[in-house]
Amino acid sequence: MEGISVAQSSKARAKPKVLKRMEIEPRLGGGHIVTHHYTDYRHDPEPHEFEKGEGEEALKHIAHHAGLPHPKLEEQEGSEPEPVD
């Protein structure tokens, strides 16, 4: 009769980071916070802060993680962003 096998480590290994969703919310003082949430609970959410004026970087960041082509932004005269309530 053989003995009981014991695992080498009692600590569970985290699975690879797989993005479950992103949350986008306004940042106090302008800009946005993009928070990454992962499928495995052992990976903490990761907030990425973008200050006012970093909209293009925020869009590229979101597109990259969503698997979309990077947006090509052009400034349009007279166009302003909608205010956030």
User: Residue 37 phi/psi, 5° resolution?
Assistant: -115, 135
pLDDT class for 28, splitting at 50, 70, 90? very high
**What's the half-sphere exposure (Cβ side, CA atoms, 13 Å) at 80?**
4
Which residues pair with residue 21 across a beta bridge?
A: 37
pLDDT class for 57, splitting at 50, 70, 90? very high
CA distance 31 to 49: 8
* pLDDT attached to residue 15: 82
pLDDT in tens, 69-79: 877 766 555 55
In angstroms, the first-to-last Cα distance of the chain is: 71
Question: What share of the chain in percent tops pLDDT 70?
Answer: 71
Q: Which residue has the tokens 């090509």?
A: 72
